[in-house]
Structure 1
Amino acid sequence: MMPELGILSGTSAGGLIVHVEGERCRISPADVRALIFSGRPAPVVRERVRRASGTVMGEVTIEGYAALNAAGKAVVIRTREGTWIVPLVSLRRVACGEATSAPLFSEVQV
């Protein structure tokens, strides 16, 4: 069985959008820079818009985090939906605008 793919895409401001399992989360530009250059974990957040009694309410929640793996060559993204991995070089290319997207691979449990 092939693991399901996710997609990592960039924003015009330098942030990242994480598309996995029908969910769309994001990593802010400042957090992307801290992840790439300092190795600091970055929160993965999701915006939800709710409509209640004619009022539109926005809510931002932290859904997980992105961090370098132990070898420092890949980024592991953990969310409520699961764990995903992308090579650091691919993440950098998307964040810098050199590539429009990169595949996220589901981490296979053995």
Structure 2
Amino acid sequence: MMEPGTLSPGPDGVLRISVEAERYRIDAGDIRNLLFYGRVVPITQAAADGLVIEGHAAMNASGKAVMLHTRAGSFIIPLISFQRVARGEAVSAPLFPLVPGVTG
């Protein structure tokens, strides 16, 4: 069974995504593109040769949640929780595993 993950703020407006032993990030500029323009943005991971794209984040069809797709699995977080973490109002928020085949 897939373990839930956590979304938390990082330095310089970065959002950190922790799932099991995997650590990912969404850069500050990409957060703005996701929230204000509804664009699909990359989820990256630090590697020996720099940052590597390991997935993507997108708004769901209703616009009320953010879906995160990574090598560790697919997760969803309510938009309000994502926004509170991005603004620094919350220290962290849980990610909920997406059921395979349901992309909402």
Structure 1 length normalisation: TM-score?
Answer: 0.85
Q: Find the residue that maps to 1:13 and give its secondary structure.
A: helix
Larger Rg: 1
Which residue number corresponds to residue 4 of structure 2? 5
Root-mean-square deviation (Å) = 1.4
* 1:47-58 correspondence to structure 2 within 5 Å: 47-49=46-48, 58=49
Residue 101 of structure 1 corresponds to 92
SS in 1 for 2:13: coil
Partner of 1:52: none
Identity rate of aligned residues, in percent? 50
Task: Report what 1:20 is aligned to.
Answer: 19
In the TM superposition, structure 1's runs of 4+ consecutive aligned residues that sit over 6 Å from their partners are none
Q: Does the alignment pair 1:82 with 2:81?
A: no
Which of 48, 51, 65 aligns to 1:60? It is 51
Q: Give me the whole-angstrom Cα distance separating, in 2, the residues matched to 1:16 and 1:4.
A: 19
Task: Give the superposition deviation at 1:15.
Answer: 1.7
Letter in 1 for 2:100: Q
Deviation of residue 14 (structure 1)? 1.6
In the alignment, structure 1 segments of 5+ residues that lack a partner are 50-57
Q: Distance in 2 between matches of 1:33 and 1:71?
A: 18
Residue 44 (structure 2) aligns with:
45
Q: Count matched residues.
A: 101
Q: What is the CA–CA distance in structure 1 between the aligned matches of 2:69 and 2:51, rounded to whole Å? A: 17
Amino acid at match of 2:51: V
What's the secondary structure of 2:54's corresponding residue?
A: strand
C-alpha displacement at 1:45, in angstroms?
0.3
Structure 2 spans left out of the alignment, 5+ residues: none
